Each structure stands twice: as structure tokens, then as C-alpha cells.
Structure 1
Amino acid sequence: MNQSNKTGIVEQFVNTLMGVKNFNQQQSPNTSIANTKELDIRAVLVYTLGTILQILVMILVLLGMEKLVMLIDNNSSFPIWFSTLFTGLFFAILSIRSRIFSLLDNTRSRQTYDQVIRPRWSPPPLAFPIVWMIIAVLRVISSVLVWQQMNHQFLVLPLILFVVHLALGDTWNTIFTVERRLGAAVPVVILGLWFSALVVTAVYWQTNSVAGMTLSFSCVWLTVAAVLVFRIWQLNGSEPLYPLKINSY
């Protein structure tokens, strides 16, 4: 098996695990060309409500997990480590596929990234799902440590902030990857995704220093990602930093 075949297999495995879809390079983006500078108020409302609803749903899921794990812990037929394993699997699903709780289109693809003008230093497309796989593992480890520190409780501030961070990341993906709103993606990645990662890491660190240190790598990557999104915006026309009203044909 030659090197290109091995690379292709690795890429297919990583993309399948992370839910990244490959589209034809000639396929048009999921938006029409905007010919106005008018703010798309409807898009702002959809993003806001979609994010809030996703957060509420995930908080309800945390509540359900708390009740379920309580039953497991109080049932002597389960080994003592079972609830920890079960919680780890839960955080793994949450970290990799939090978008299943979103009402927005959160299709993961390379389409936008492949088609826009990028800076020379930009990572290759395959780097993103690999790094996010690593971050997902670190999120699981750090969240389990916080959960243990909080006496097996899920409805606690650190974990609530964690699901808020995940929801903001999913909304950013809708804005940038799916709808290719390069201007609107800039403030969302900085004020939403990057800043929330710093907050979650700081709160995790206060709760359990090892958990905070474990999660801090995601802040490094998101700093790089935020700068990359900003440079892509600059190189592709510097449209206004808000969602533009677009024409559908």
C-alpha cells in the first residue's frame, strides 16, 4: 500500500469519526451572493434562538444524566467504576457530536475552507478533524475530572458553561462552514467560541487544576483558528462583520 493510499484511508477514517462530509469541489456554497449591505435580522434571530434552544436542550440532557448516574451509583449491582465509564462515554458523544442537539444546519464539510482564499500558513484541511479529535479526548478527560470533583453532579456551573461553549461552536460552524458568512463568522469565533473556551478553561482550572491544564490546549488551537478566520475574512473581501441579507434564486 503506497503512501497516498494510507493517507486516504486515514483521512476517510478521521472524517467519518468526526462527521466531516466531502462535497464536490465545484458544488456551490449553501448561500447566494449578497448584493446588499443590509443586516439579515432574520438570520440573527435564527442564530440566537437556535443557540439558546440548543443550550437548554443540553442542560436538560445534563439533568437526565445526573438522575441516571445517581441511580447507577445507588445500585450495588453495578461495579464502582461503571458510572465513570458511562459518564466518559457521554462526554465523548457530547464533545464529538454536540450538533445533534442543534436545530441549525451543522453539516461538517471542507467545502468553504477548500474554496476560500487562505493565508500561506493555513493548516491543511485534514489537520482540522485530527486536532478536533485530540481536543475531544481532552474535553472528555477534563470534564470527567470536573464531574468527579463536583461529586458526580452534572448541573454545575463548569459543565453548564461547557455546553454553552459547545453550542456557540456549533452556531459558528453554521455561519462559517454551511452559510459561508465570512464577516459574521469573525465576531462569533472571537467573542463566542474563543472567549467561551477561555472562560470554561478558567472555571475548570478553579474546580480542578489538572482539568484546567488538560483543557488549555483547546485555547491554543482556538487562538490559531480565530486568527485564521480573521485572515480568511480579510483575504476574501472583508465583508461587514454581520450577516448580510442574501438573495435566493
Structure 2
Amino acid sequence: MNRKNLVKSGVNTVMGVNEATRDTTIRPDLANPQWDKAATLIYLGATIAQIAAMTGLLWAMDFALGYLDTAALPQGAMGAIACAFFAVVTLRSRFFSLLDNTRNSGRYQSLQRPGWAPPPLAFPIVWMSIAVLRVVSTYLVWSAMGQTFLCLPLILYVAHLSLGDTWNTIFTVEGRLGAAVPMVIVGPLLSAAVVTISYYQTLPLAGWIILPSLVWLAIATALCISLWRLNGQEPLYPVVSTAES
């Protein structure tokens, strides 16, 4: 295995990208587009359920650690536990989603892309860098909030991760390029702005550290819109599949 493939394999492993996945593309009936109300309700319900589950996890961490004699722990142990927790939550938030959240670069590679589009390998590398910044900034917020997990900034953070997972299902897994456009705007992008502001208000340094995540999502949003324009401009809502119509 050459160095490029080694790097690619390592990055994909960390970010959970699986190249060999079955085709789960939804093929919309564009000749007679009908709003897929069932899919819309599934996306909404799954997102709410994931936010609730991850918020419950924050509560569980406070509950469990409340019974732990933290004073008896080695110096820095609580910080290490918090960092490990935030790393798992950040990198594997999709474990809490009821949707298919397979990470696969095949969708992006199969589309007609604008000339300025980054190469496929750039995405897991950038996301891995963003994940580090997210963990660091979230740890700082946790510390500033008195080492409390169940607090507004962190609830907003897990909501942001949940919205991102739902968008991944719509775009990467199902290939609904039209529905992915409004979702990326009102979901990952808007929630990233809310999280950045919340982190900054809690601790300015944390806000600055997580800011690149917002900048990257702004670029990703522009790319998502461009991909939609270049690949058919299907309706900006989930359309019933040809197999169902």
C-alpha cells in the first residue's frame, strides 16, 4: 500500500468512512414529483429522537460522575474522561441516529462537480481537523460551566451533530440533492452559527476555536447548492421514489 492509500485508509478509519457500501439511492419521480411526506416525518422524528438520546447521555454523564469521588482521581483524570467522551460523541454521533448514516465518498465522486470543488479525500481530512477543534472547544465550555455536561451550550452542540447526521442521510445515503439544500442551511449551517455564538458567550476562546467549523460548513453549503444546480435541480423537498409512485 503506497503512502497516499495509507493516509486515505487511516483517515477513513478514524472518520468512519466506508467505501464499500450498497447503493441506497432514492430515485425520485421527477416527471411527476410528489412530496414524500413519510420521509419528511421520518427525518423530523429521527432528528428529535437523536437530540433527546444525546441530551439524555449528557444527563447520564452528570448522574454517573456525581457518584464518583473525583477528588480521589489522579490530577487531570476528569479532563481526560471529558475529552474522551466528547471525542466519541463528536466522531460517532451517528450511533444515536435511527437513520442510515453510512459515511461514503461514493456519492460525491459520482456527481458532476464545480471546478473549485475539493477532492474527495479532502473531506475526511478537513472533518478530522474540525473534530479536534470541536472537542477542544467543547472541553473548554464544559470546564467553564463548572464541569457540567447537561448545560445549554452542550445541548445545542449535540443538536447540531444530530442535524448534521440527518443531512448526511438525505445527501450522502439517499442522494436527495434537492432536499439536502434547505436542510444544510437550516440544519448544520444555522445550528453551527448558534453553537459558535453560544460557545463564545460562555468562553470567547472556545468560540474562536470552533469558528472554523462554521466557516467550513458555509463552504460545504455553497458546494451543496452548486451540486444541486449542476445535477438536475430536483425539487427542494423529498420526492417520492419512482419505485413507490
Which bracket does the TM-score occupy, shorter chain normalised? over 0.9
Residue 103 (structure 2) pairs with residue 108 (structure 1)? yes
The sequence identity of aligned pairs, in percent, is: 49
1:138 and 2:143 are equivalent in the alignment:
no
Q: Is 1:163 matched with 2:158?
A: yes
**2-side partners of 1:178 and 1:89: how far apart?**
28
**Residue 83 of structure 1: CA displacement?**
1.1
CA RMSD of aligned residues (A): 1.4
* Structure 2 gaps, min length 5: none
Verify: 1:182 aligned to 2:145, yes or no: no
**Which residue of 17, 20, 24 maps to 1:20?**
17
Distance change (3 Å), C-alpha of 1:69 and 1:80: farther
Question: Quick one: which amino acid aligns to residue 12 of structure 1?
Answer: S
| Pairwise CA distance, 1:33 | 4.3
Aligned residues: 243
AA aligned opposite 2:209: T
Q: CA deviation at 1:31?
A: 2.1
What is the CA-CA distance between 1:247 and the residue it aligns to? 2.5
**CA–CA distance in structure 2, aligned partners of residues 75 and 223 of structure 1:** 40
1:201/1:215 contact within 8 Å kept:
yes
8 Å CA contact 1:190, 1:226 repeated in 2: yes
- Counterpart CA distance in 1 for 2:78 and 2:52 is 24
Residues 189-242 of structure 1 show CA distances to partners (whole Å, capped at 9, x for unaligned) of 011110100010000000001100000000110010000000000001111100
What is the TM-score with the length of structure 1 in the denominator? 0.94
How far does the alpha carbon of each residue in 1:85-138 deviate from its partner, in whole angstroms, 9 at most, with x for none?
001000000111100000000000012101111101100000000011011111
Quick check: 1:99–1:106 contact (8 Å CA) kept in 2?
yes
Amino acid at match of 1:121: W
State the alpha-carbon separation in 1 of the partners of residues 10 and 215 from structure 2: 25
Q: How far apart in 2 are the matches of 1:32 and 1:216?
A: 36
Matched, 1:57 2:53: yes
Residues 1:239 and 2:234 are matched in the alignment? yes
Q: Secondary structure at the match of 2:147?
A: coil
C-alpha distance in structure 2 between counterparts of 1:201 and 1:76, whole Å? 32
Distance (whole Å) between structure 1 residues aligned to residue 178 and residue 115 of structure 2: 20
CA shift for structure 1 position 67? 1.7
Residue of structure 2 in register with 1:222 after alignment: 217
CA distance in 1, matches of 2:243, 2:88: 35
Contact 1:69 1:83 (8 Å CA) reproduced? no
Following superposition, the deviation at residue 155 of structure 1 comes to: 1.2
Structure 2 CA distance for aligned equivalents of residues 135 and 206 of structure 1: 20
Query: Unmatched 5+ residue regions in structure 1?
Result: none
Is 1:85 the counterpart of 2:53? The answer is: no
- What CA distance in whole angstroms lies between the structure 1 residues aligned with 2:28 and 2:145? 49
> CA separation in 2, counterparts of 1:152 and 1:118?
44
Q: Is 2:59 aligned against 1:39?
A: no
- Classify the secondary structure of the residue corresponding to 2:29: coil
Deviation at 1:37, TM superposition (A): 1.2
Counterpart of 1:99 in structure 2 is 94
Which residue matches 1:6? 3
